[in-house]
Amino acid sequence: MKRTEEKALVGVREIARKANVSIATVDRVLHNRTGVSAKTKEKIDAIIEELNYKPNILARRLASKQILRFAVVIPSVSKETDYWNAPLSGVLQAESEISSYGIQIETFLFDQNDKKSFEKQADLLLRGNFNGVLLAPMFIEESSKFVDECTKLNMPCVFINSDIPDKNSLCYIGPNLYHSGYLAAHISGYLLKDNDQVLVVNISKEIDNHHHLLRKEEGFRKYFADNHKNNEILKVDIRDTAYDSVKASLSTVLKSNKVNLIFVTNSRVSSVAHYLEQQKIENVKLIGFDFLTDNIEYLKKQTIDFLICQKPIEQGYRGIMALYTHFVHAVPVEKIYHMPIDIITKENYQFYRN
């Protein structure tokens, strides 16, 4: 990023970070309010000068009393996974930092196993008067139609968790799904012998519409092809996410095959871990996704060998801040921001920040 672009993106939060103080403290200095020591004020003033920060945009917003309304469209927490608590936590963190500048955030939660639920929430949102949207696209066709309607209403969309590459968005913040799967296969390569069997497990009621699962599987298979591995890759799609269905599907495939490693393409890896533990199966390696309480418990017991994590809290936070930067600072945001692909094990989980 060029120096001029860096300066354009500088805001109260960046000043606070550099000065190691709260945003409220920076705000007091910017508006000549009391409650800040002379030493701290001098430090903040020096950073403001160094960064060439001009708070006139924020001042105009505060003076205008105009309200900016952002909508958040993400899945709700389900009994199978609490993954979506993490992005929502990031959204709330961002809201706490920017709400004083006339920004309101409304959340529309849908059932990730039910397209109709998404369509209902999307319809409610489109009837409202919003300036921008943070969207986790789960159902490709329905999400694409929704984004088209947002475009007609001049509501820019920020995508998190998964992208819709052929749709015009303000930006995408999330994992490179293909490379996430490719990395999982690379890890698998160290755990497998020649001719060992591998099982790919997709657990979702809407597998055909959940392209993020299929992209991970695509990357996983490509690694084996690129490296001329002779391991047989089996696959099971489990469309009923209840544990009894997971148990029945795994029992069938494991009974008739000698599987050495299982790759689960989403956060429901804990269901597979529960099955392996219940059946006392100890010689099968297990790789899955996401830093969730249940997953960590099985990781600690080494039922799960590796978790691949991509900072969902930060995705939610960055998504809201991208809308904030676009509307308040009126400068371009980075079109694609791929989250790091983190590998979590029993040895390092306690140091990880989601």
Q: Quote the pLDDT of residue 104.
A: 95
Range with lowest mean pLDDT among 47-51, 106-110, 122-126, 241-245? 47-51
Q: Quote the pLDDT of residue 79.
A: 72
The domain that holds 41 is classified in CATH as 1.10.260.40
Looking at the 3D structure of the chain, how many domains does it have? 3
Phi, psi of 227 (to 5 degrees): -105, 15
pLDDT of 213 over the 90 cut: no
pLDDT of 2 over the 50 cut: no
pLDDT of 72 over the 70 cut: yes
Q: Quote the pLDDT of residue 6.
A: 41
Q: How many helices and strands, by DSSP H and E, does the chain display?
A: 14, 12
Same domain, 298 and 186: yes
270 Cβ partners below 8 Å, 6+ apart?
Answer: 288, 292, 294, 295, 297, 298, 304
pLDDT-derived band at 270, boundaries 50, 70, 90: very high
pLDDT-derived band at 56, boundaries 50, 70, 90: low
Q: Quote the pLDDT of residue 210.
A: 66
pLDDT of 110 over the 90 cut: yes
pLDDT-derived band at 207, boundaries 50, 70, 90: low
Same domain, 225 and 333: no
For residue 21, give both structure tokens.
């103080």
The domain that holds 168 is classified in CATH as 3.40.50.2300
Mean pLDDT across the chain: 90
Q: Quote the pLDDT of residue 105.
A: 97
Answer for the pair 200, 126: CB distance below 8 angstroms, yes or no. Answer: no
What residues are paired with 307 via a beta bridge?
Answer: 288, 344
pLDDT of 208 over the 80 cut: no
Same domain, 213 and 292: yes
pLDDT of 33 over the 80 cut: no
Q: Quote the pLDDT of residue 4.
A: 38
Range with lowest mean pLDDT among 14-18, 79-83, 343-347? 79-83
User: Rounded CA gap, 112 and 118, in Å?
Assistant: 8
225 Cβ partners below 8 Å, 6+ apart?
Answer: none
The DSSP bridge pattern shows strands 336-338 and 171-174 to be parallel
Range with lowest mean pLDDT among 19-33, 80-94, 104-118? 19-33
Same domain, 84 and 44: no
Answer for the pair 202, 166: CB distance below 8 angstroms, yes or no. Answer: no
Q: Quote the pLDDT of residue 209.
A: 59
The DSSP bridge pattern shows strands 68-75 and 306-309 to be unpaired
Percent of the chain with pLDDT over 70: 92
The residue among 172, 106, 165, 168 whose CA lies nearest residue 136 is 172
Domain of 26?
A: 3-54
For residue 26, give both structure tokens.
């920076």
pLDDT of 10 over the 60 cut: no
Same domain, 302 and 324: no
State mean pLDDT over 155-175: 93
Q: Does residue 182 lie in a domain region?
A: yes
